[in-house]
Structure 1
């Protein structure tokens, strides 16, 4: 399973990329706007941290087919390993179909049903990104929607990965790991929640305390 960071904060990316095996970074217009930096500047800063081999996902803001195509071409020109995020509206699906024919790397986003994910995969999207917690917030079942989509993608051998997005907690990520989700994109707080546990820190402190009680502190106590 791929572990991707959903943030545009370069300090958070730098911190977590140093610690964790990160497989990419996703952004969207809201994330970029929050950083108050020019789009290309931010993408280049992220690139400097993760390197050319690590994928970055960046989203169009236009809603009409022709404008989506133009923006996708522009985003694709910024770096070689970049995925253009396109919402699965009717205009978006049309653009995904055309851009995929041209060899562009596409991440279909704003997915709320397995049907939408399937159609985007059929249109040629490399990734399809269902919004787990947002589905829950409209009285749906985000985990089951992703489970259905993974099953459909795998059953029909579609050349697409399910990139689950929009998480409220680490437990949602765990539930999707158990059903074989291909990839998840998580914000830094969820990544840290997956990594940390208070009893781990307590255990380490207890080990140190017991050692120092017996031998004293410092590296010389190993002799």
Structure 2
């Protein structure tokens, strides 16, 4: 399973990249606003800085909601860097835009997916990635992981090449569950990724090894 980081914070991206486990980055307008990146030129420049930090794909989201706006923005984003994947919302116009981009050889990530039907439409239109939002489904007492499993079953039935990118990941357990189900990619904040490093027995074991070592060399 590929590991993407869900952020627009360059320091977090560099930290994840330095671990040697990062495969890509996803962003959205909310994450850009959190970093106080505003204005079209500033946003485009920030996407380029993100691409310079990593080797893998960088999802950059369109803001427009009409078909024509999505095409204009998406082509501008795709022209920035070969790493850019144009992130498009799951709407009628979004599906039309994904088909247009697919025909043009522009890679896409269909975002805000909450059902198998939506995931199937995105795949039919040629989406490179489809992003089911696990955490937001959990927030309304719906099983987000069940959606990942259902999409995977349908995709496997027809050997669909669209990759399942599990999004809205809230915890390290979400990451493990996605890997167990067979999601192609997961995107999570740095905090959730780093928590995979932690285990009390690891800490206890390391402390024991160090104590034994210091005792041995002090004799």
Question: Which TM-score tier does this pair reach, normalised by the shorter chain?
Answer: over 0.9
> Which range is displaced more, 82-91 or 131-140?
131-140
Flag structure 1 segments of 5+ consecutive residues without an equivalent: none
How far apart are residue 47 of structure 1 and its match? 2.0
Among 37, 47, 54, the residue aligned to 1:43: 47
Provide, for residues 101-148 of structure 1, a one-character-per-residue CA deviation record: whole Å limited to 9, x for no partner.
Answer: 111100000001111011101100000000001011123210000100
Q: How does 1:29-178 map to 2 (within 5 A)?
A: 29-37=29-37, 38-51=42-55, 54-178=56-180
2:6 is matched with 6
TM-score by length of 2: 0.94
1:48-93: per-residue Cα shift (whole Å, max 9, x none)?
Answer: 2214xx1111100111110011010010011012100001111111
The 2-side partners of 1:199 and 1:36 are apart by 40
Q: Could you tell me which residue of structure 2 aligns to residue 185 of structure 1?
A: 187
After TM superposition, give the deviation of residue 194 of structure 1 in Å: 1.5
Q: Report if aligned partners of 2:169, 2:186 keep a CA contact under 8 Å in 1.
A: no
Q: CA deviation at 1:34?
A: 1.0
Match of 2:203 in 1: 201
Q: Report the Cα offset of residue 44 of structure 1.
A: 2.2
> What is the CA–CA distance in structure 2 between the aligned matches of 1:106 and 1:55, rounded to whole Å?
10
Superposed CA deviations along residues 154-206 of structure 1, whole A, max 9, x for unmatched, are 21111210000001211122112111111101111110111222432332122
How many residue pairs are counted as aligned between the two chains?
215
Deviation at 1:2, TM superposition (A): 0.8
SS at match of 2:69: helix
> What SS does the aligned partner of 2:79 have?
helix
**Maintained 8 Å contact 2:51/2:83:** no
Residue 22 of structure 2 aligns with which residue? 22
Gaps of 5+ in 2: none
- In angstroms, what is the RMSD of aligned CA positions? 1.4
Query: 2: distance between equivalents of 1:141 and 1:15?
Result: 31
**TM-score (norm. length: structure 1):** 0.92
Contact 2:170 2:188 in 1 (8 A): no
